[in-house]
A and B are shown apart, each in its own frame.
Chain A
Amino acid sequence: MIQDIDIADLKRITELIHSKHGYDFRNYAMSSFKRRILRILDLKNMSIESLLKKLTDSPAFINEFLDELTVNVTEMFRDPSFWRIMRDEIIPSILLNHKSFNIWHAGCSSGEEVLSMTILLKEMGILNDVSIFATDLDVNILEKAKSATYYIKNMDLNEKNYIRYEGKWSLRDYYREDNGRVTFDKNLFNNVQFRKHDLVTGDIFNKFDLVLCRNVMIYFNQTLQNEVLKKFHEGLFKYGYLCIGSKESLIWCDVANRFLVANNEEKVYKKIKD
């Protein structure tokens, strides 16, 4: 990170993407947004001016740009204790009142969390009773998620997380290896719909019993976090659950008093008021 960019340049980029492509990054957190832009300039060996020109002149470049801009670093069963709470408390609580239910993975990235959820549900014997919607604004990453294919080098960490989660079998039972990559059993995705959706500009498209949006809103400023949390509130059935990252909080948002803390350590909230 040798070169630096000033805020005026970052604003030129966000304004251009907004007016030309309809994505709104104007309320993204500045520190990480700046790092992502610097990273793109470095990867593509570009100046700010040439990036602006390319975003203006090459319509197809936007998808590649979004793919690099958004943070797609994730792991299966990240925070194993969270997944144990899902399995042992939250999902059993939903099942008390519903035989079938809907889950939304908002900002699903390369799909590791969706896969974790489907494996959890399969091991609970209820995979066929659940409809899952997995969304992201990055169409390239959605394709990766759908393919359920990952580098084998990532599987060590995923398997370790799964063991800490105390899953029933081994992750190996769910994938086959081929040429340095692993591909998970596509049957896990029978009830999963992947679709493009932008949390910032998009509307709520369904009602859900469980929404997972972990470590996505950390890239937003507080104004935008507040707006998106209103959408999650709207998208949840009463008594539905919202899960956010372990270092995220609802405390300072407008809808805070319409949720109850279901599990503070794992940041699971229950909607109690419309």
Chain B
Amino acid sequence: MGPMSRFNLNNSYKAVVIGGSAGSFQGITKILSQLPKTFPLPIIMCLHRLKHVRNGFVEALSIKSVFPVTEPYDKEQIKKGGVYLAPSNYHMSVELGNCFAMSTEEMINNSRPAIDITLGTAAYVYRDKLIGILLSGANRDGGLGMKHIKDRGGLTIVQEPTECMIDTMPKAALSLTKIDYIMKVDEIVDFMKEIDKLYK
């Protein structure tokens, strides 16, 4: 594990939000499978997925995850220890009052759920108390959401483009804003462990 000084962190974060698309499944699975059992923050994920396949994805992610992964209901409260996945064919927003809100609005970047919506609304609600992570993907979705997180003082991480199966998504974020950290998945795993330590 890297030295503490590597990341400029504090223990006031309220949530971690993760976006990913093509080529992100393995990375996500690795991160979820190596989370400390005491991980202090909710993890909110928006991953591009087959629009008309409602079942299977959350189960596949849950197999190796330390915490059960759920697709939340509309207006469900966001809780510590929760690992949430945006359901198929809905946009998932973080709503004031720390709950989720679903919507069936127009697709964005040909995507529903759209990562920009989940990241952008989380940035609005959590401001500088948010950590945003964007992984591999073949589409620009998520770039603008990462910019919103950065603009509101949150901490931003993208997967090292050379490690990505398809690097369009992290590169979109890098071109739109000054991303705080570029990391490989293994480093993101370490980062999550350091977050956990800070809250003890």
Contact = CB atoms under 8 A, between A and B. Distances in A.
Interface of A: 1, 29-32, 35-36, 71, 73-74, 78-79, 81, 160-161, 164, 215, 217-219, 221-222, 225, 245-249, 251-252
A32 B93 contact: yes
B197 interface: no
Interface string B63-106: 00000000111111000000000010110011110000111111
Output the residue of A32, A221, A249, A251 with the most chain B CB within 10 A.
Answer: A32
B157 interface: no
Contacts of B106: 73
**Contact size range, B:** 20 to 34
A172 to B, nearest CB: 20
A1 B148 CA distance: 10
B52 A160 contact: yes
A3 B76 CA distance: 28
B95 A29 contact: yes
A71 B96 contact: no
Contact of A1 (B74, B76, B120): B120
A246 B52 CA distance: 13
Given A31-B95, A164-B52, A1 B144 contact: yes
Contacts of A29: 75, 93, 95, 101
B54 interface: yes
Nearest to A36: B105
B24 interface: no
B108 to A, nearest CB: 9
16 contacts: A1-B116, A1-B144, A31-B94, A31-B121, A32-B105, A35-B103, A35-B117, A73-B105, A160-B52, A218-B102, A222-B75, A246-B87, A247-B73, A247-B102, A248-B73, A251-B73
